Chains A and B, each alone.
Chain A
Amino acid sequence: MKQDLPKEMRPAVALRPVVNESGIEIKPVYAAADVVASGGDAMIGLPGEYPFTRGIHPYMYRKQPFTMRQYTGFGNAADTNKRFHYLIANGQTGLNVAFDLPTQCGLDSDDPLAEGEVGRVGMAVDTLKDFEIAFDGVDLERITVSLTVNGAAAILIAMYLAMAQKRGYDVSKLRGTAQNDILKEFIGRGTWVYPVEPSIRLVGDTIEYCAKYAPKYSPVSVCGYHIRESGADPAQEMAYAFAIAKAYADEVIRRGLPVDEFAGRLSYNFNCFGGIFEQVAKFRAARSLWAKIMKEQYGAKKPGSMWVRMIAGGGGGGLTFEQPELNIVRGAYYALICALAGTQTMALCCYDEAYTIPSEYAQRISLRTMQMLIEEMGLSDTVDPLGGSYYIETLTNQMRSRMEAIMAEVDAQGGIVKLVADGVIQAKVSAQAYRRQRDIEEGRFRKVGVNCYRTEDKTPEMEFHPYKEEDGRAQCQALARIRAERDAEKVRATLARVEADARSGVNLMPAIMEAVKAYASVGEITKVLVGVFGRYREPVRF
C-alpha cells in the first residue's frame, strides 16, 4: 500500500489550491498512500456489515431500489389526496406529506394567526377527519408515509396511528416516518411551539410510545438538512445532526428504555447539494461514525441500532432562482449523489422550488430523474460503486475525523441542547451563510447562471401554485361542523387528561391518542400543552 505519486505525476507547475466546503484540502491526485495516511482501510468493511460505511444492507438497490417519495401537500385534505393518487399512479412508492404552517405551528385553521396561511404551503389539518380524507384509498401497507411535522408532531403521529387503526390496520406492523426533530427547528425552519426542555420530552414520548406500540414506525427523522440550509458546512451538518440524535437517545435511555429497543427506528434526513465527491464521502463517513457511536458509546448490539437509515435528495440551498431550468440538471446530479451514497429513500428537489410549491410537471420530472437512475443508468447494479477509490476512501476518513472533531467541540461547549437553547449554533451557521452569500455575490464561490454564465434571455414562464383564500374559509367551516357534531363532553374529558398527563410527567401519547380520536383539534391540544409548558422564546442572536 505504501507508495507516493511517481515523479511524472507530480505537477510541474503550481496548481490552484482546492479546499472543499468542509475545509479539507483536495489534492490533485490520490494514491493508496493517501488512504493509509488518512487512517487506513479499517473502517471500509463490506456493505451490510459494521461499520456500514458502504451501506446498511448487503445488496442495497440490487435487492430493492431506494423508495421514491416526493414532498407533497397543499390546500385541503381532498386536494392533497388527489395529488397522492397522481404520484402513486406514476410509480411513487412512498408519500412525504407537507403540512401548512398553521398545522405545523399547532394552530387551528380558524385561529387569527392562521389567516392567509391555511393550506398555502401544505395541507391544512385540524382534526382526525382531515387525515381520514387525505389517506382515503391509499394502501398504508404498500405505501409508506412520512409526515413532515415537528412542533405539532406528537399530535399528528397520534392522528396517523388513529386513522390507520380506524381503517383496520394493525399499528404494530405499520411502517412510516415522522420528522419530529424539534432541536433542528430551533436552528432552522422555525416551527417550534414549546420551550426546549418540554419539546425534547415530547420527542421522547413519541419514541417511547412507538417502541412499545408501533415498533416498525420511525417516530423521528433527525435532520441535518435544515441545518445545512441555514449555513452549516457538510461536516457540521452531520456532526450537529448526530449530536441532536444523541440528545434524543439520552432522553429515552434516561427513562429506562434499552438502546436496542428504539435506536433502530431513528432515521435521518440529509441535504445533498454541493460537490459530488464531498457529498458521497460525507454520507459514507456519517454511516460509519454513527455505527461507531452507537456501538462504542451506547453499547448497541443490534446492527439496526447502528444504521443510518436516511432520506436524501433535497438540496434547496444549491438550486438557483436564475435560469431555473438548470435546476433540472442540478437535481439529476443530486439524485446521482444520493444513489452513489446509498440512501434508503429519495425525495428529489424540483426545478421550480425557488419560485413556488412544485407543480405536478416539476414533480414528475424529479420522479422520472430518480427512475432513470435505476432503469437506465445502472445505479442499482452494484453496491457502493465508488468504494475503493483512493480519493473517496481518503475523503471518507477525513470527513469522519472532521465530524468527530465538531462533535467533540459541541460537547466541550456544554452540549448541543445548551448550544441550541442559547442560540450559539444559530449564530454560527448564520454567520457562515452570510459569508457564503458574499462569496457568491463577489464571485469567489461559483454558481452557474448566478455569478458566471449569466444570460439575459427571459426566464421560462413558471406555473405558480394557485392559492385560493376561499379554501381557507371552507376549511374553517369544515372545522366548525366537526366541532358542532363531535361529542363535546368526550373532547373536554380527553383534553383534561392531556393536561393532567402533561403536568404529571407521564408519557403524553396515550392521552393525545384519546383526544385525537375524540376529534379534538390540533389547536385545542396544543393550547392545553402550551398552558402547561409555555411557549418558546427565540434567542435572537446572530
Chain B
Amino acid sequence: MNPVKVVLAKPGLDGHDQGAKVVARALMDAGFEVIYTGLRQTPEAIARISQDEDPDVIALSSMAGSHVPICRKLKPLLEQAGLSDKLWIIGGNLPERDHAELRSLGFKGIFPSSSRLDDIVNFIRANAS
C-alpha cells in the first residue's frame, strides 16, 4: 500500500511556518509522504501543485487571519482541478467563529492552535482514502 500523501501549503503572505514545519515532521514520522510548498503560495499555485502531486490530503496552515478569503478562493480552484474527493484540512490561528464557514467551504478537518499532533495524524488516517 502506498503511504498517505499530503500536500501541505502555506497560503497567503503569512511567514509563520514553525507550526507548518512541526506538523510536516509529525506527518512524516507517521509514515505519510509530505510535499511542503514553502511560504507565500497563491490559491492558484496550491491548486496546481495539488493537481501535479495528486495527494490524498490537501492541508493548509494559516496564522495571520486571512484563512477565510483564501479558502473562498481556493475552493472553486480545487474543484475545477478535480480534487473535490481529496481530504481538505486546515490548521493554524482559526477563531471558532470561522469554523462553520471553513467547513462549508469543504474543509473537513479544522485544527486551531493547541491541536495535538497525534489528533491531526489520527484524523488523516481515519478520513483519507
Chain B contacts for A80, CB-based, 8 A: none
CB–CB A542/B36 < 8 A: yes
B15 interface hit (Cβ, 8 Å): yes
Q: Give the segment of A19-27, A115-123, A291-299 that binds chain B.
A: A115-123
A431 interface hit (Cβ, 8 Å): yes
B84 interface hit (Cβ, 8 Å): no
B21 interface hit (Cβ, 8 Å): yes
CB–CB A190/B118 < 8 A: no
Q: Give the segment of A330-338, A378-386, A410-418, A433-441 that binds chain B.
A: A433-441
Q: Give the segment of B50-58, B65-73, B75-83, B101-109 that binds chain A.
A: B65-73
Q: How many residues of B contact A (CB 8 A)?
A: 32
| Per-residue interface assignment for chain A, residues 458 to 481, with 1 indicating a CB less than 8 Å from any chain B CB and 0 otherwise | 000010100101000000000000
Q: How many residues of A contact B (CB 8 A)?
A: 41
In the assembled complex, the Cα of A538 lies from the Cα of B112 at a distance in Å of: 26
B4 interface hit (Cβ, 8 Å): no
Interface-central residue, B14, B65, B112, B114, by most chain A CB under 10 Å: B65
- Out of B21, B39, B112, B113, which one reaches A542, CB within 8 Å? B21
A313 interface hit (Cβ, 8 Å): no
- Out of B95, B112, B116, which one reaches A441, CB within 8 Å? B116
Chain B contacts for A467, CB-based, 8 A: 65
Complex: chain B residue closest to A101, CB-CB: B13
B125 interface hit (Cβ, 8 Å): no
Chain B contacts for A101, CB-based, 8 A: 12-15, 64
CB–CB B24/A542 < 8 A: yes
- Out of A117, A320, A437, A464, which one reaches B117, CB within 8 Å? A437
Interface secondary structure of A, over-half rule = loop
- Out of B21, B42, B93, which one reaches A430, CB within 8 Å? B21
- Out of B16, B69, B113, B117, which one reaches A190, CB within 8 Å? B16
B22 interface hit (Cβ, 8 Å): yes
| Per-residue interface assignment for chain A, residues 100 to 128, with 1 indicating a CB less than 8 Å from any chain B CB and 0 otherwise | 01101101000001111100110000000
- Out of A117, A430, A462, A538, which one reaches B64, CB within 8 Å? A117
* CB-CB under 8 A for A430 and B18, given A321-B113, A467-B65, A542-B24: yes
In the assembled complex, the Cα of A295 lies from the Cα of B127 at a distance in Å of: 60
* CB-CB under 8 A for A437 and B66, given A190-B15, A322-B114: no
| Per-residue interface assignment for chain A, residues 308 to 328, with 1 indicating a CB less than 8 Å from any chain B CB and 0 otherwise | 000000000000111000000
B48 interface hit (Cβ, 8 Å): no
CB–CB A120/B21 < 8 A: no
CB–CB B22/A120 < 8 A: no
| Per-residue interface assignment for chain A, residues 516 to 542, with 1 indicating a CB less than 8 Å from any chain B CB and 0 otherwise | 000000000000000000000010101
Chain A contacts for B117, CB-based, 8 A: 437-438, 441
Q: What is the distance, in angstroms, from B100's C-beta to the closest C-beta of chain A? A: 15
- Out of A107, A188, A354, which one reaches B113, CB within 8 Å? A354
* CB-CB under 8 A for A441 and B114, given A189-B16, A190-B15: no
Chain A contacts for B95, CB-based, 8 A: 355-356, 462, 464
A229 interface hit (Cβ, 8 Å): yes
CB–CB A538/B66 < 8 A: no
5 A-B residue contacts at CB 8 Å?
A321-B112, A450-B114, A469-B69, A540-B36, A542-B24
Interface residues of A (CB under 8 A from B): 101-102, 104-105, 107, 113-117, 120-121, 185, 188-191, 229-231, 320-322, 354-356, 430-431, 433-434, 437-438, 441, 450, 462, 464, 467, 469, 538, 540, 542
